[in-house]
Every structure is written in C-alpha cells, then in structure tokens.
Amino acid sequence: MERTLFEPEHEMFRASVQQFIERHVAPFHKQWERDGIVPRDLWLKAGEAGFLGMDIPEQYGGGGVDDFRYSVVMTEAFTRANCTGPGFGLHNDVAAPYIKHYGSEEQKQRWFPKIVRGEAILAIAMTEPSGGSDLANMRTHARREGDYYVLNGAKTFITNGINADLVIVACKTDPSKTHSGVSLLVVERGMEGFARGRNLDKVGWHAQDTAELFFEDVRVPVENRIGEEGHGFYYLMQQLAQERLVIAVGALAAASAALEWTIQYCHERKAFGREIGKFQHNRFKLAEMKTEITIGQVFIDRCVEAHNAKKLTASEAAMAKWWATDLQRRVVDQCLQLHGGYGYMLEYPIAQAWLDMRWGPIGGGTNEIMKDLIGREMGF
C-alpha cells in the first residue's frame, strides 16, 4: 500500500540522511558496537549536515522547520540501516523540546546554537535505580539555597549518558509533594559533584551509551531550571507523547526492515529442492507479517499526521507505542526463526535486530504502563 505521509521534500531529505549513514555511520557501526559508544565527532558531522535541531528556530541556528515528518524520516533511516548507536532521536525529539517549549530566552540563546552544531549533546534523566515509571515518587532531590539548587541523587538507564554535555534532570524540589513537587534542572558537564557511572552493558543497542549518573551536592544555578518550579511533572507528561511516537515509528521501521531481509532470504535459501518461502507454513507466516505491518504503518502514519496537527492524545501515543513495539517483537522473532541457524549469527542483520528489539516494550514507559494509561483514559 502506497504511503501518503510524505512530500517530495521529505524524500529528498531521506536521500541525504541515507547518504550520511552510508558515508559516516554504517562502515563504522560494528566497531562502535564493540566500543560501546559513538565518537563525539559524529555529532559535529551531523550538526554540519543540518540533522540536529531541525525544528529549533532559525534565530538560534536551527532548521526552523516545525514538521515532525523530518524526524520520522531520520528515525526510519537509521533504524532500517540497523544503526542504533547515534542518539540523535533522543537529542532532537525527546530532550530538546523541553528547552524549546519551556526554556527561557536566555537558555535558548545560551544552549541552542551548541545543540544544533553538535557541540552540546543532550540527555534527559528521569529513571532512578529504585524505579522508572513512578516519576511522582522519585528520590533525587534539590533544595534551594539562594541563587542555586543543591542537587543530590542518582539516575540510571540514561541514553547519551556518557557523551552528554547537558542533562535535563527530573528531581524533587519539594519532597512533601508528589506531582507538584517535581522540577527540571539542567546539569552541565564539569559541574562539581556530577559524576558518571558505568556505561551500562546491555542486551542490545551496544553502540548507544547508556549510563548511570550521580549527583552529590551539585550546585545548579537557578537560571538552569526549565520552566517553573514544581511544574516538571506536567512538562514531562506533555512531552512523553512525542517520545512514545518516536519509539513507535522506529518499531514499525525495524519490523518492516526485518521482513524485507527475510523475504530476500526465503527466496535465496533452498530446502528439499525449492525456496523455503514456497513452503505453505512459511508463506503463511510471511503473509501474516506483511499484513500486520501494513495495517500498523497506516495507524502510525495517522498518528504522525495528528501529532503534526497538535491533535495526538496521550492515549493514542500510548496505543502506538505498545502496539508497534509488540508487533516489532513478534515480527523480528519470527523472521529470525525463518533464517534458521543463520539467524542466530551476528553477521546477519536479523540477529542484531533481534537483540535490539527487546528494548522497545520497556523503554519510554513499559507496555503495561501504556495499557494502564489507555484504560484510565477510558474511565477505568
């Protein structure tokens, strides 16, 4: 089924992103997987190519394009190339919007030009060792002392955690309150008391630096607070819909790529004198996956259109996230099975995709939380 989501300019942008991946990412990604991190100079190259801060206003050096479809193109291109290391999506679509929507004019002038050039890498720190989804009861806290907040606590599973120069930290500025006690503070590289722990050893996404972060009496200037004190939880809830949509977009792209690799393999691989795709069981499995991916793509594209029109609800974003990542899990697992023994070999892209896909149902809020959110929206 032909997709109608994109205009010619989006396809031109896709070609540029693919060329960037072929030249600067794909040839080196396996080494980055072994290193557990992407080199910082890749961010500078991405900034020079115009791939960072595309929706940041031109007055701060950004692209000035308020069209989420460009982010969709970026996510799809990197996912289909099986290059999960560069954390550009977290930088562009998850962290930067907090500064764009809630930051002060001084903060935008101070940080945005470096963010766009790739000189300042962004991360956002919500999850703690004691819990992930229960944000209202986080333990990281900051007390006000004059023109500073004194920040203490720990965060974990933080994407871009090693490379990050600016970390948006969710913390309690009023421990006596739950939701209304949360604020967002930007911790900068080099602040005394800010330490990075391990670059975590994950099942997949090995080139993506995911770290523990520690804060011991870090003095954060009040001017580094995003928005109003005590409004942090509200800001998080407003922006999580976009994060979940990004995850859904990537999940569909990963499922689609896995199916394409598998169709090709099922034509090439022969058993008992014929292509394995011509056995009825395998043909049925391929047909089922093709149908589900086609249906899923229509829904995700509709969610992107709604988001572009500022009409995507939190419940719809939750639906997209849990259903797309669950579909990705089922499709990639079935595709690996159809590859047989070769599917278990990391030299085949399906094996790496299988390792990487298990993050989807967990990240951005577990799929169980997504279903609970949808149920609450229904009045239960």
Does 347 participate in catalysis according to the annotation? no
Q: Specify the amino acid at residue 200.
A: L
Which position has the token pair 């595309």?
A: 54
Q: Which listed residue (243, 260, 305, 316) is catalytic?
A: 243
- Name 225's bridge partners: 185
Three-state helix/strand/coil letters over the chain: CCCCCCCHHHHHHHHHHHHHHHHHHHHHHHHHHHHCCCCCHHHHHHHHHCCCCCCCCHHHCCCCCCCCHHHHHHHHHHHHCCCCCCCHHHHHHHHHHHHHHHCCHHHHHHHHHHHHHCCCCEEEECCECCECCCHHHCCCEEEEECCEEEEEEEEEEEECCCCCCEEEEEEECCCCCCHHHEEEEEEECCCCCEEEEEECCCCCCCCCCEEEEEEEEEEEEHHHEECCCCCHHHHHHHHHHHHHHHHHHHHHHHHHHHHHHHHHHHHHCEECCEEHHHCHHHHHHHHHHHHHHHHHHHHHHHHHHHHHCCCCCHHHHHHHHHHHHHHHHHHHHHHHHHCHHHHHCCCCHHHHHHHHHCCCCCCCCCHHHHHHHHHHHCCC
Over the range 292-312, which residues count as b (16 or more CB within 10 Å of their CB) and which as e?
Answer: bbeebbebbbebbebbeeeeb
Give the residue numbers annotated as catalytic, written as ranges: 243
